[in-house]
Amino acid sequence: MDYTIKNRINDILTAHISFPNGSVNKQYKALLDLEKWNMADITLLEWNGLEEIGLVYNEENNTIEGIPTESGDHKIKLVFSVADSPKQVKVINLIINPDPRSMWKDLPSDVKDPYWKQDDVHTAGPLYGKHAIAASKRGRSHKNTGAFRDDHFELALNIKNNWSVVAVADGAGSSPFSRQGARIACEETIRFFQQYFEENREQELEEIAASDREKINLVAGQHMYQAIKHVYEQINAEAEKHAAANPALFNDKRKSILEYYHTTLIFVAFKKFDFGYLILSFGVGDCPIVLLHHDEAQLLNQLDVGEFGGGTRFITQPEIFHSKEIPVTSRFKVTILPDFSYLFLMTDGIYDPKFEVVYNLQNAAHWQQFMQDLDGNNEEKVKIDFKGDCREAARSLFDWMDFWSPGNHDDRTMVIIY
């Protein structure tokens, strides 16, 4: 072999070539820049060892691409020749990182626990002129330890005279029985309004809403106050009952028994009239209720987050009923509007990774991005078809909740009225 060609082959064999690292289950694409590598004189170029890890050499685009399937420090082989020289082999390292999702365990929760609840649920149903879909999924941080889902939701659609009620709650992670607090908060919200409609007490609201828009806020607030007082009393009754039967479980002297059941609560009760939709809303905690109509987003509750100095509040805190800092009346809201596109209720498992700050909840551009996300513009390509069967849409919402967001592995719950 010509001495010049031998030297050239040796230069290529000893040259440093590096590819960017990849990750398992994540699209990979690396351009082969032969000129940059000073290898433009290679006359034959083949690759060995790519297929075993899920990659291929795209000769047309001059790229190595695909979705890696195996993590590790892989030795791939560049088979080349210069001029008419025999084939040569150069070994190149390619690091593929493991899929971070595969590092999480999925341990079942204890079905024998008296406060056990399903790890994951989703449901859907028709409304008067609209649909409702809902899903709640146990967070990865809970799956990893076999802990319970603390989130909860309940829907009561078309209860009476086309009124509907939706309640969502997020049990505090630091409270041992918060999952039960969240369950009671949602179930008792629904139970209160079912009795409320059975007694025809909504007629007062309907008459006022049609004739006196200014007075409706005052009266609706009084009615909603009775609802949250009922919820508080029911959680308190369960706490006292459970503590009396199991005193050893309530052995932290620094906590009241209600603190073991700390949970947030948001709810809406709504109905369509000739004059439009009447929506009653309430919220305590860091779970938002957002009304989206075309490009306008309206936050229907006040979130208890950092700017209020104390972080999250809970329906199980008696002080929320007589707080001067955040009067309980400020937590009630009445909204009357001709129509709306979407009504969202979500826990912080969705809010934190997708909106991050309260400002984004009322930012039209951010909502456009979020709706595109629900329409399939996401890493997993999961699309929620709001025009199709609502049961399929609920299933898609359930799948969409598997999105990956570093550092955000809490329970995820969302209800969408559309």
Residue 102, pLDDT score: 86
CATH number at residue 409: 3.60.40.10
227 pLDDT more than 90? yes
Question: Strand 72-82 relative to strand 42-48: parallel, antiparallel, unpaired?
Answer: antiparallel
182 and 320 within one domain: yes
308 pLDDT more than 50? no
CA 87 to CA 276: how far, in whole Å? 77
131 and 97 within one domain: no
Please, which pLDDT band fits residue 306 given cuts at 50, 70 and 90?
low
Residue 5, pLDDT score: 86
Question: What total of structural domains would you count in the chain?
Answer: 2
Q: Which two tokens stand for residue 249?
A: 């479980």
Residue 151 is assigned to a structural domain of this protein? yes
91 and 135 within one domain: no
205 and 135 within one domain: yes
CATH number at residue 37: 2.60.40.10
Average pLDDT across the chain, whole number: 94
Residue 365 is assigned to a structural domain of this protein? yes
183 pLDDT more than 60? yes
How many other β-carbons are positioned within 10 Å of the β-carbon of residue 393?
Answer: 24
CA 313 to CA 378: how far, in whole Å? 32
Residue 108 is assigned to a structural domain of this protein? no
171 and 250 within one domain: yes
CA 44 to CA 112: how far, in whole Å? 65
Residue 411, pLDDT score: 98
pLDDT in tens, 334-366: 999 999 999 999 999 999 999 999 999 999 999
Which position has the higher pLDDT, 385 or 25?
A: 385
147 and 263 within one domain: yes
Residue 164, pLDDT score: 97
39: containing domain: 3-103
The residue among 384, 403, 410, 404 whose CA lies nearest residue 124 is 384
Residue 260, pLDDT score: 98
Q: What percent of the chain lies above the pLDDT cut of 90?
A: 82
Q: Could you give the strand order of the β-sheet that contains 72-82, starting from the edge strand earlier in sequence?
A: 22-23, 88-97, 72-82, 42-48
Name beta bridge partners: 280.
Answer: 269, 334
176 and 88 within one domain: no
pLDDT in tens, 9-58: 999 999 888 899 999 989 999 998 888 888 888 888 899 999 999 999 99
Residue 109 is assigned to a structural domain of this protein? no
404 and 276 within one domain: yes
In this prediction the pTM is 0.86
Could you give the angle at which helices 178-198 and 213-245 cross, rounded to 10 degrees? 130
Q: Contact at 8 Å (CB) between 336 and 284?
A: no
Tokens 């979500």 -> residue: 346
pLDDT in tens, 199-225: 999 999 999 988 888 899 999 999 999
DSSP class per residue in 79-113: EEEETTPPPEEEEEEEEEEPPGGGGS--PPP-TTS
